[in-house]
Amino acid sequence: AQSVAQPEDQVNVAEGNPLTVKCTYSVSGNPYLFWYVQYPNRGLQFLLKYITGDNLVKGSYGFEAEFNKSQTSFHLKKPSALVSDSALYFCAVRDRDGANNLFFGTGTRLTVIP
Amino acid sequence: GAGVSQSPSNKVTEKGKDVELRCDPISGHTALYWYRQSLGQGLEFLIYFQGNSAPDKSGLPSDRFSAERTGGSVSTLTIQRTQQEDSAVYLCASSLIALNYGYTFGSGTRLTVV
């Protein structure tokens, strides 16, 4: 079975400070991992993915995420938050050898305070 | 097309009526997915189409829900005898056959059952 946990429903951070949005996953095999962002009244947009190789993945808008196999985590990070980063963030996982659909977490609402 | 197109963007219907939601995927994307996003919930997988293979219907919540994909392109999600708990945003996504490319999502259809 595959599952994703985003333990924080809401994350608040001051503009200019580093941000972290947490994600842990569970798959029976090796994972594909993704982060998506949803801005108000918009569809989900792809941010970044981990498929294989370097554990540190860089994506759009200055975001990055680190795959940690031992902790089964894939936390999203950004060194300096912008007000425009305020949005709903979803982590997703797929087992390489499992079903073809992605399993999504419940989302974390990020608010960057000016 | 340039992106995944969904119509209508908003739909208000009376309880007990049938509704059809349409998804037009990116040209050349052989995989198409339907998800449901309810308030306070994550993305709930509904159904997955891949090429000419039989669809994966494992996420459909009841037999009132069905979907088809004609000609390997446009997909229609049908909800019969709608209930208030069907109110949600229905998201369609498409991808290339290899899932490690991730999904491209449409903007969704907001369904309200009154």
In a domain, B111, yes or no: no
B91 in a structural domain = yes
pLDDT at B99 over 70: no
A88-107: per-residue pLDDT in tens? 999 999 877 777 788 899 99
**Which residue range(s) make up the domain with B40?**
5-102
Report the CATH number that the domain containing residue B34 is assigned in CATH: 2.60.40.10
Partners of residue B43 in chain A, C-beta under 8 Å = 44, 90, 92, 104
Assign residue A78 the CATH number of its domain: 2.60.40.10
> How many domains are there within chain A?
1
Q: Domain total for chain B? A: 1
pLDDT in tens, A7-27: 999 999 999 999 999 999 998
Q: How far is CA B2 from CA A11, A13, A43, A80, B57, in A?
A: 33, 35, 14, 32, 27
Q: Which residue has the tokens 């994909």?
A: B69
Beta bridge partners, B76, equal B22, B68
Cβ pair B38, B88 in contact under 8 A: yes
* Residue from B39, B105, B109, B110 to probe the interface with A (highest A Cβ count within 10 Å): B105
Interval B39-89: pLDDT, tens: 767 789 999 998 888 899 989 999 999 999 988 799 999 999 999 999 999
Could you tell me the residue range of the domain that residue A69 belongs to?
Answer: 3-113
Is residue B35 one of the residues assigned to a domain?
Answer: yes
